[in-house]
Chains A and B, each alone.
Chain A
Amino acid sequence: MSMKRSSGLAGRFTGGLWYAYVALVALFLVTPLLSLVVASFYDGRFFSIVDYQFSLAWYEAALNSGSIRSALTNTLLISVPVTILSTIIGTAAAIAYTRYEFPWREQFKLFALLPIFFPLILLGLGMSMWASVMNLGYGVLPSIIGELVWISPIVMFVVSITALGIDPNMEEAAKDLGTDTVTMYRKILLPLLSDGIVSGAIFAFVLSWNNYYIVSYLSGAQSTITTWIHGRMTQGFTPVVPAVASIIFYVSLLLVVGAAVFEYRKVTGDE
């Protein structure tokens, strides 16, 4: 990217102003997350910034609590299958949309990506009534199917963007060289798409890991980590909640930063 070098003091000053503004917006975005982390290390029952003392006690309490462990287990029981299935469903749909021409192609894209734009509360309550009408019940399995509806389209979106960047002549070249469809997918298309698929899978896991609205409608009596946090939040302050919320946040942070660094290395490696 060619960036115009601003010269002179005035130019540097306005350049600094842009940085300051973006830094301010960034600060706004990290404020609640920082507060959460600060609060999670606070030693005491009643929060106060005046006599702050660092402590890991609430993390210990969180990891030793049976109800939190079972909520974490439920979350993993949902998010691992969701990650695997949404990656398969989303990637397949992305390949169909980007690498083939067929009737109603644009309508297929429109339909498949529409759930991304739905407020989750709308998806959640519709699914909850539907689960009751169809006798699906409430628990881990309906939660998996429910989250798939929102997350598979997101994977499709991410993979589509990678797939559209690949030379459209590629399949034709492979076919001209006598490659059959299975080999073409295994040796050419899927390896070329691997970046998009890996990012899509990471996003899928993190979104499922953090999902609240859909599981709150479908998980029934099983509590997941987000419904556990929500329940405690509305009941009043418990000092263990910031610690649990922070653990969830660290996992997301690690994965998203990992995905970004992975992408960034790829980009700079190509140049």
Chain B
Amino acid sequence: MSTIDSIRSRVTERSDDAGHPLGGLLRPPRLLMLPMVLLLLFMFVGPMVAIVVFSVQTGNAISLNPLDWTLAHYAEVIGGMLSGQGVYGQVLVNTVLVSITTTVITLLVSYPAAYALARKIDRYKLVFLMILIIPLFTSVNIRVFGWALFLVKNGVLDSIVSLFGVSNYPTLMYQRSTIILGTVYVYLPFMLFPIYLSILSIDDATFEAANDLGATKATVFRKILLPMSFPGVVIGSLFVFVLSLGADVEAKILGGGSIFTMASNIQYSFGYSQNWPLGSAQAIGLLLITVVAGIIILRTIDLQEIASRGD
């Protein structure tokens, strides 16, 4: 590490002797960072600021007027959530239940699978990994639609005929559990891969040493596996929790549009009621949780470690 540092500092010296600041901007590190920074400032920071500013606008504003502001939308949303009355009470219960249940189920399902993939499975490993990756690269719409088709095909609902039948009304399952099936499915890989990578990073010798010293399987699990894979569990859980807070297509298609979650309610405020300030006020909660979780995840991930694993 010390050699790397010394070389890095030498490289830095070279790139910093650019003279005036504009010259420095046009040389490698700055020049290479520039497109990303400009892109994100314009289309990432800008939109997030727009959400914050819109959330304090009055009425049904669709243009910004920072001098004329109000906290009425927050009062409406938070008041509704606290009293548990009306749509916001329901939205809060649905969202929290869906997200927490999804996180717990994906964790319980993924952990043994990640362990098996990292340490027990040798043959066909690439095939298994491919199957786990492919859903990540398929539109969420298509996957959720596939579930809708599947549930119908197996006759889980007795309304097969009415679903694909003459009535042009998609009578899917209108249930929280169907939405959870959808979110578990969509976000499972986000739990599995961080745990898989963290278990993969444990040295085989650690397990061998523990076995040689007579540790029981339970002890190995409690003292080695669990603590060493903990970063993966944290990253995966945050990932799944945050992403399932934003689950909208799952709620709309599998929930049949009758179960409102935070995401679908935000969607509704923007789409049907055209009330940007109210939608923004609801989105602020999601934004705050996302930023905090994102920073924790990024601080926990060690890119160097992933790279050195060479897979």
Contacts and interface: CB of A to CB of B under 8 A. Distances in A.
Contact of B138 (A2, A28, A33): A33
B146 A36 contact: yes
A228 B160 CA distance: 24
Contact of B134 (A33, A48, A108, A126): A33
Interface residues of A, number: 113
B297 interface: yes
B9 interface: yes
A236 B170 contact: yes
B189 to A, nearest CB: 8
Interface stretch (A54-62, A64-72, A159-167): A159-167
B71 interface: no
A134 B134 CA distance: 37
Contacts of B48: 126
Interface string B20-46: 000000001111110111011011101
B134 A109 contact: no
Given A203-B137, A264-B126, A102 B50 contact: no
Interface in B237-284: 239, 242-243, 245-249, 252-253, 257, 263, 266-267, 270, 276, 279-280, 283
Interface stretch (B76-84, B115-123, B226-234): B115-123
Contacts of B243: 119
A198 interface: no
Contacts of A97: 33
Interface string B110-142: 101100110111100010111111110111111
Q: Number of contact residues on B: which range applies?
A: 35 or more
Nearest to B310: A165
Given A168-B4, A207-B137, A47 B149 contact: yes
Majority DSSP secondary structure for residues of B touching A: helix
Contacts of A73: none
A117 B242 contact: yes
B193 to A, nearest CB: 12
Contact of A234 (B11, B44, B204, B253): B253
Given A113-B298, A132-B62, A39 B286 contact: no
Interface string A255-271: 11100100010010000
A210 B253 contact: no
Interface in A27-60: 28-36, 38-39, 46-49
Interface of B: 3-4, 7-12, 14-15, 28-33, 35-37, 39-40, 42-44, 46-48, 50-51, 54, 62-64, 109-110, 112-113, 116-117, 119-122, 126, 128-135, 137-150, 152-153, 160-161, 163-165, 168-170, 185, 188-189, 192, 204, 239, 242-243, 245-249, 252-253, 257, 263, 266-267, 270, 276, 279-280, 283, 286-287, 290-291, 293-295, 297-299, 303-304, 306-308, 310-311
Interface of A: 1-4, 15, 18-19, 21-23, 25-26, 28-36, 38-39, 46-49, 88-90, 92-93, 95-102, 108-123, 125-130, 132-134, 145-146, 148-149, 152-153, 156-157, 160-165, 168-169, 171-172, 175, 181, 203, 206-207, 210-213, 226, 229-230, 233-237, 241-242, 245, 248-249, 252-253, 255-257, 260, 264, 267
Leading 7 A-B pairs by shortest Cβ distance: A119-B246, A32-B146, A126-B47, A164-B307, A117-B294, A96-B32, A210-B139
Given A164-B303, A213-B140, A237-B163, 12 more contacts: A29-B134, A33-B143, A33-B146, A48-B160, A92-B31, A101-B8, A114-B291, A129-B54, A212-B139, A233-B170, A234-B253, A249-B142
